[in-house]
Amino acid sequence: MSDPRAAARAVDALRRGWPIAIDGLVLLAVETADAERLAAFDPKANGGVLISSGRAATLKLANQLAAADPTEPVLVDRAPWIDFAAATALADPQFDLATPLKGPFQTLPLADPDAAAAALRLARIAGLLPAFFLGTGEPEVRITTADIDAHEDANRLTLAARARLPVEGAEDAEIVAFRSPESADEHIALLIGQPNGQPPLVRLHSECLTGDVLGSLKCDCGPQLHAA
């Protein structure tokens, strides 16, 4: 039986830098780890680094058999020279300019592709980089892929608030807020026009504080939102 609350606890653990287990896979999020935590989690330094297929393609690993499927995560062998700093540069694209020369890397077959894919999903739910260290440490939380599916079930959303909100270009707009029983986050929909029973045109916008609110010139998130 699935438990969406277990997935919520796993999200909290990831954000705190604690290891979790999904089915038989024991993981530590790269973004919230540090060298000391990694040493305790993977003392033999041979657990591997799990990254997305997109990141693997950026690193020119897609020509390796274990990284050839664009729908599956990729496991990179943790060679002796891959310490915490090198693993972070491997996983995080923000370091690409500072460390342009990386590798060579060797990819490995995934023992449980479904659990690995679920881990990347959970990282995105937690708002973290989709990258993990694999190890054998004792996890803080154990969950299953079914727990994550239950946590993300749209049928569990409840209507939290609804109000008319005139906006520039659409004075009859309406704002609707939804909540999930296991999440503290709200999901906001801005309705323009009246529903007529037909599937509406929908645009999903990724929240960006610096672009949407502060008008950052480093991204086009704000202009995209207003153009929509």
Per-residue model confidence (pLDDT) at position 169: 80
pLDDT tens digits, 46-104: 899 999 999 999 999 999 999 989 999 999 999 999 999 999 999 999 888 888 778 88
Q: Got the DSSP string for 151-204? A: HT-GGG-EEEEEEE--BTTBTT-EEEEEE-TT-S-EEEEEE-S---SSPPP---
At 191, list the tokens.
């309705």
66, 75 Cβ separation under 8 angstroms = yes
Domains and CATH numbers, the chain: 4-151 (3.90.870.10), 156-227 (3.40.50.10990)
Q: What CA–CA distance (Å, rounded) separates 94 from 74?
A: 19
Backbone angles phi, psi at 218, to 5 degrees: -85, -10
pTM of the model: 0.83
Q: Which residues contact 77 (CB under 8 A, 6 or more apart)?
A: 48, 105, 106, 107, 108
> Which region, left, alpha or beta, applies to residue 23 given φ > 0 means left and ψ of -120 to 50 means alpha?
left
pLDDT tens digits, 130-161: 999 999 888 999 999 999 999 888 888 889 99
Strands 20-22 and 74-76 turn out to be unpaired
75, 108 Cβ separation under 8 angstroms = yes
pLDDT tens digits, 159-177: 999 999 998 888 889 999 9
Per-residue model confidence (pLDDT) at position 122: 96
